[in-house]
Chain A
Amino acid sequence: MTPPEDTLETTTVDKKALIKGVLEVYPDKAKKKREKHLNVYEEGKSDCGVKSNIKSVPGSMTTRGCAYAGSKGVVWGPIKDMIHISHGPVGCGYYSWSGRRNYYIGTTGIDTFGTMQFTSDFQERDIVFGGDKKLAKLITELEELFPLNRGISIQSECPIGLIGDDIEAVAKKATKETGKTVVPVRCEGFRGVSQSLGHHIANDSIRDWVFPQADKKKKELGVEGTPYDVAIIGDYNIGGDAWSSRILLEEIGLRVVAQWSGDGTLNEMMLTPTVKLNLVHCYRSMNYISRHMEETYGIPWLEYNFFGPTKIAESLREIATKFDETIQQKAEEVIAKYQAQCDAVTEKYRPRLEGKTVALMVGGLRPRHVVPAFYDLGMKLIGTGYEFGHNDDYKRTTHYIENGTLIYDDVSAFEFEQFVKELKPDLIASGIKEKYVFQKMALPFRQMHSWDYSGPYHGYDGFAIFARDMDLALNSPTWSLIGTPWKK
């Protein structure tokens, strides 16, 4: 199952030919569309040479989700002390129930609600007569049964926008009646081309429905500002990622006032306009609110990368430059402190992983951000792509990848399978829908959305787990069992 010697030497020309071959199977109209999304990165170019954030080709088996997934599943869902109503039919809430491993501390069902499903369970009569009355009633029932909730968000499913419901009016009335934050979110699944628009809509709903209240309540929030206040933006605390990041920021002397949105609370969101710097991990899903805070409150933002020791050290140093010398000094101390831990990890795992090749396909920030962590382990990237990236993601990607890397945007199941068959990476790092396709092909695989039920992968503590997990996937003894000995 090891790749032939010349895999890494596969040239840009060969890869372009591969793309051309794969496209041959499409009908003309779809071929014209898809050929803009596949390319080979050429060193020195300002982006990866692909179009992105465009409608998926019908029938192509895209991996993409929808705006509801981006809002309820990603941005809003992890805010733990609010109740997020999946407003519409039962399915959307059901499929996304406890699916993302956004860890949090709290008593579920009492003061936190992260792993629960709240739905208006639309029936035919709600479609015909509208669901506003039901929604209003539902909110009063929530208040009675879950009195410690700090607020409510209304996550619209497809029918809401199609039947002309006025959830904004319901939200305003409910806010008045309950005195709590009630946020209507127009994240119907048909809006936009992927979950990405859902992130944007969710960001905008925070801007429009949370921040105005925060501005009013500033003094009641009860936290005095310090010059070292920061917020973690765009970390969903998958397997505890935000915690293994927070610990480092606190160690260098910063005060993390808010986590957006993994293990986050409404209060933390409201405190954020007072911070000195917003630290953005997932740029794709939360650049909008960061830009808004920059424009409105003058808060600068900085993208950082806590995957793998190289990038962690680089990021800690860069973050520290935004503060005074004491922070800079501490950053150096923290980097030095963890050096032995990182060395032990690379000494153990690098020899087991050196030279192995990886093909990535994920969402958000990971198609670029995790690449240096693989490099830290001596591994090589041969292809990467985003489910729902935009051009700015592909620009940023150029800082992470080498000449000749295959790029695939919104890759179809067909294309991905063909690319993998041809390029024979040693490891595929992608999502649950892809996992078993490639494992059936005897290819080691790790889920890069859920960390394959492991994690955290962020920070120094996370890197050790990342290294362990890549090793156990690549060097699993079961790969050698595939295929009968009598037919080999």
Chain B
Amino acid sequence: MAQNNVDNIQDHATLFHQNEYQELFQAKKEFEGGHSPEEVARIAEWTKTWEYREKNFARTALTVNPAKACQPLGAILAAVGFEGTLPFVHGSQGCVAYFRTHFTRHFKEPFSAVSSSMTEDAAVFGGLNNMIDGLANSYNLYKPKMIALCTTCMAEVIGDDLGAFIKTSKEKGSVPEDFPVPFAHTPSFVGSHITGYDNMMKGILLNLTEGKKQATTNGKINFIPGFETYIGNLREVKRLASLMGVNYTLLADNSDYLDSPNDGEFRMYQGGTSLEDAADSINAEATVAFQAYSTTKTREYIEKEWKQTTSVSRPVGIRGTDEFLMKLSELTGQPIPKELEDERGRAVDALTDSQAWLHGKRVALYGDPDLVIGLVQFLLEVGAEPVHIVVTNSNDVFEQELQAILDTSPFGSTAKIWGGKDLWHMRSLLFTEPVDLLIGNSYGKYLWRDTHTPFVRIGYPIFDRHHLHRYATFGYQGAINLLNWIVNTLLDELDRNTIVSAKTDISYDLIR
């Protein structure tokens, strides 16, 4: 019997390795109709070849293991950064169950959002009644200060008109006339989750700032994080701005929502940027976004409609943080304090201490465009060489920007940007042109298993490691975090590869 020791109960991780289960697996094969082990091994080897790689890269219709999600996921992440805001997704209800599950698995926090639960009849007649009822119900049950509306592809395909529907719903008394219901059309067959973030952010700002333009500025700087899943980054940006004495509005601040204290009470709405501050953002001195490709339309709107200057600054690595602080200083006239100079010095010191282990290391990475740019900035600073860069939700402007960054450094010369490719392409790349390190989200663990490339988890989602999202990758502190994750993964790998007694452990060094 497998559970023969009640003080050491075996779960799936060990239970099935016992003989009785191994025999069961073997016997089950009789019915499975599987291929011979030789054939499986032959095909497995073939998938590692250049020949397979060429076939793999020739596909045009099939996507396998993409590193992108769809628009409404980004939209609702933007929404929960605002005070008392309930995301409302108009369309079929399963999508919302998926979004909530996805965020909850990553953040290990509650994530509240509602659906208008459209079914076949709504597919025929449109979803107006679902919205009328849905707004009334969610308003009464969850008592939000704002409901931020976006769409699933069902509502988009049948062509529901959100603006008109909201107007009708208000006329029918679902929510008060002056209750804010910003909206964004977020079709999942256009762009990705970062597009949805952009659309929702623009929709919310458009709604809240209407008629709020003053003759003078409020002296503040707006920050827009973009599809940011590192709560530590939001807190780091706030800390840096405070140290600089900069008055800011974070559009929007979902850090408390996605990392709330456990004090024995559940609050559906936690923190967030107040609707008043958000409304007043139209009067700020300038807007700084920390991501470009999840804020493109929002920045265009701000420039055009608010007549406000916008810029993109990614405070990743030493130079990225330098640029951000200098930008803040330039915008506000505030000097960069000695405290931050010291922090910078400590981070540079740490980078120098570890650089020998990073120099010339070949790196493959994938993720959202802005995440990848930040990581490349950092890798080039420490003398690592980005080699394979896969960005499923890529675009031409991004690829030009990234190429220009790679061109600034001799360490960038071996890099190739693979726009629109997926993680099955990455698998071929890793087999045919191996690297020393892979950086990506949790799904990279399958590549780690198949190719044995040492793997650092940076990105979204991270489901299989705890608490990484609580750390910062921004700022000088964030540079130390990135360094810590990367260099210590390489050192762990070195230990793993030199751990056999009397064989490889000559290099199992105590001091590294």
A345 to B190, CA, bound (A): 54
A438 to B265, CA, bound (A): 9
Q: Is B117 an interface residue (CB 8 A)?
A: yes
User: Are the C-beta atoms of B55 and A144 separated by less than 8 Å?
Assistant: yes
Q: Is B152 an interface residue (CB 8 A)?
A: yes
A61 to chain B, nearest CB (A): 5
With contacts A66-B92, A109-B47 taken as known, whether A341 is within 8 angstroms of B1 at the C-beta atoms is yes
User: Are the C-beta atoms of B34 and A265 separated by less than 8 Å?
Assistant: yes
User: Are the C-beta atoms of B31 and A65 separated by less than 8 Å?
Assistant: no
For chain B, residues 4 to 29, give those with C-beta under 8 angstroms from any C-beta of chain A.
4, 6-7, 9-12, 15-16, 20-21, 24-25, 27-28
When distances are taken between beta carbons in the complex, the residues of chain A under 8 Å from B135 are: 59
When distances are taken between beta carbons in the complex, the residues of chain B under 8 Å from A116 are: 64-65, 424, 446
A444 to chain B, nearest CB (A): 13
Q: Is A150 an interface residue (CB 8 A)?
A: yes
B37 to chain A, nearest CB (A): 9
User: Are the C-beta atoms of A265 and B33 separated by less than 8 Å?
Assistant: yes
Q: Is B315 an interface residue (CB 8 A)?
A: no
Partner of B134, one of A58, A163, A195, A433: A58
User: Are the C-beta atoms of A438 and B266 separated by less than 8 Å?
Assistant: yes
User: Are the C-beta atoms of A137 and B157 separated by less than 8 Å?
Assistant: no
Residue interface bits A429-441, CB-to-B below 8 A is 1, else 0: 0001101111111
User: Are the C-beta atoms of B61 and A134 separated by less than 8 Å?
Assistant: yes
User: Are the C-beta atoms of A441 and B117 separated by less than 8 Å?
Assistant: no
A222 to B33, CA, bound (A): 9
When distances are taken between beta carbons in the complex, the residues of chain A under 8 Å from B15 are: 240, 244, 456, 461, 465
A60 to chain B, nearest CB (A): 5
User: Are the C-beta atoms of B61 and A81 separated by less than 8 Å?
Assistant: no
User: Are the C-beta atoms of B188 and A91 separated by less than 8 Å?
Assistant: yes
With contacts A94-B70, A223-B31, A268-B32 taken as known, whether A30 is within 8 angstroms of B133 at the C-beta atoms is yes
A21 to B118, CA, bound (A): 28
Q: Is A293 an interface residue (CB 8 A)?
A: no
A243 to chain B, nearest CB (A): 6
User: Are the C-beta atoms of B63 and A90 separated by less than 8 Å?
Assistant: yes
Partner of B263, one of A81, A161, A190, A482: A482
Partner of A148, one of B40, B59, B70: B40
> Among B93-101, B225-233, B286-294, B353-361, which stretch is in contact with chain A?
B93-101
When distances are taken between beta carbons in the complex, the residues of chain B under 8 Å from A67 are: 94
A140 to B263, CA, bound (A): 55
Q: Is B3 an interface residue (CB 8 A)?
A: yes
Residue interface bits A471-486, CB-to-B below 8 A is 1, else 0: 0000000000011000
A440 to chain B, nearest CB (A): 4
In the complex, what residue of chain B is closest to A158 when comparing beta carbons?
Answer: B154
> Among B119-127, B344-352, B370-378, B478-486, which stretch is in contact with chain A?
B119-127
Q: A interface vs B, CB < 8 Å?
A: 1, 25-27, 29-30, 55-69, 81, 88-92, 94-99, 103, 105-111, 115-124, 126-127, 134-135, 137-138, 141-142, 144-145, 147-148, 150, 157-159, 161-163, 189-193, 195, 221-223, 239-240, 243-244, 246-247, 250, 256-259, 263, 265-268, 270-271, 337-338, 341, 344-345, 347-348, 412-414, 417, 432-433, 435-442, 454-456, 460-461, 464-465, 467-468, 482-483
Known: A57-B137, A91-B72, A137-B60. 7 other contacts (CB 8 A): A56-B115, A92-B95, A106-B34, A111-B43, A118-B63, A124-B187, A461-B3
